[in-house]
Amino acid sequence: MDFKFKPEHIFLQRRTNAEYVKTITRWLPNVKEKYVPKTLSDEMIVLFLLSCTNDINLTKHTIISYYKLRKASPLIFDNRRVDCPEIQSALKAVSFSVIPKPIEHEIILFIKLRDTYYKNAKVEYAIKIICMLLDVCQEENPPDTIIVVIDMYGFGVMHMTMLHIEALRTIFAYVQEACPIKLKTIHFVNSNFMLQKTLSFCKIFMKQELIEKIHSHKGIDGLSDFISKEYLPQDYGGDRPSTEELRKTVYKKFEDKQTFWEAEENMRKQYYC
């Protein structure tokens, strides 16, 4: 599995160091959970260390949780083929775009409906794409943290009927326990009465720490209080290209990432009993 960054570059930035990587490398062969690989690339270990701010015990816990969840949730983490009809449909129905903040080692993920017809909003495949996108964002210049902006425009009562319990359980477990990018905040813009209903439904999967990271905005104006216009798309009052333009870049990166996902899945399954 190839990455487009070198651990040595991350070491030079003093975001982590080679000794921490060696500590995790020496620990891996002794992990009792058989689904955890006995070896990982230095690049992969660096990602876990960055997400855990070099807390070694937390890094170990996150690695175990990462592989446990990937084994338990094939709906989200297996068969990640961009040409899959369900993924293609989800990419047409939902816009996913990313703006990096390289100086802060941070990325901003924007999610919004392109097609507001509720039957086209297959939540499980949207969640699958989000997890794929997180992989893409770590390929080069890996971030320490992520900000997520979710646009509620067009989300109505019938969309609630499309919520997929197991997929929701998986994504909340992933962002809270296993994701090798630390979640900074979640912003809901154009929020409506459905937001509180949706959050109430999801609270069974959410720890208090995650709940405290959520911000709600009735329109889009309040977003600039948290994110500089320099890092907002045009359709959110910012200086960057529109989310519609940015999503095209994401789609191209998905196509380029296909062999990575196949290799990652094959590597994991070598350790499944």
The per-residue pLDDT of the chain, averaged, comes to: 95
pLDDT at position 271: 87
Looking at residue 251, which CATH number applies to its domain?
Answer: 3.40.525.10
| Residue 117, in any domain of the structure | yes
Residue 1 has pLDDT above 80, yes or no: no
**Whole-angstrom distance, CA of residue 195 vs CA of residue 3:** 37
3-state helix, strand, coil in the chain (%, to 5): 55, 15, 30
At 81 the pLDDT is: 94
Do 90 and 138 belong to one domain? yes
Does residue 58 form part of some domain? yes
SS3 55: coil
pLDDT, one tens digit per residue, over 145-164 is 999 999 999 999 899 888 99
Q: Same structural domain for residues 109 and 208? A: yes
d(CA 204, CA 201): 7
Are 101 and 42 in a shared domain? no
- Residues 150, 233, single domain; the answer is yes
Kindly report, residue by residue over 217-240, the tens digit of the pLDDT: 999 988 999 999 999 999 999 999
Cβ–Cβ contacts within 10 Å for residue 183, how many? 17
Q: Which domain range does residue 22 map to?
A: 7-76+259-269
Q: Are residues 93 and 61 in the same domain?
A: no
Helix extents (H) in the chain:
7-12, 18-27, 42-51, 56-72, 74-77, 85-93, 123-137, 165-173, 193-202, 208-211, 243-256, 258-269
- Asked, for residue 232, whether it belongs to a domain, the answer is yes
Looking at the fold, whether 172 and 117 belong to one and the same domain comes out as: yes
Pair (71, 100) in one structural domain: no
37 shares a domain with 100: no
Residue 2 is assigned to a structural domain of this protein: no
pLDDT per position as a tens digit, 25-53:
999 999 999 999 999 999 999 999 999 99
Looking at the structure, do residues 107 and 237 belong to the same domain, yes or no?
Answer: yes
What are the φ and ψ backbone dihedral angles of 146, each rounded to 5 degrees? -135, 140
What pLDDT was estimated at residue 2? 78
Phi and psi at residue 147, to the nearest 5°: -110, 135
Backbone φ and ψ of 119, nearest 5°: -70, -15
pLDDT for 86-143, tens place per residue? 999 999 999 999 999 999 999 999 999 999 999 998 999 999 999 999 999 999 999 9
Residue 210 has pLDDT above 70, yes or no: yes
190 and 251 part of one domain: yes
Task: Report angle CA 152, 224, 128 to the nearest 5 degrees.
Answer: 40
pTM of the model: 0.94
In a domain, 102, yes or no: yes
In a domain, 1, yes or no: no
For residues 40 and 84, membership in a common domain is answered with: no
Of 31, 83, 5, nearest in space to 271 by CA: 31
Classify residue 72: in a domain, yes or no: yes
Do residues 120 and 235 both lie within one domain? yes
Question: Does residue 104 belong to any structural domain of this protein?
Answer: yes
8 A C-beta contact, residue 17 and residue 113:
no
* Number of domains the chain contains: 2
Structure tokens at 95: 């816009």
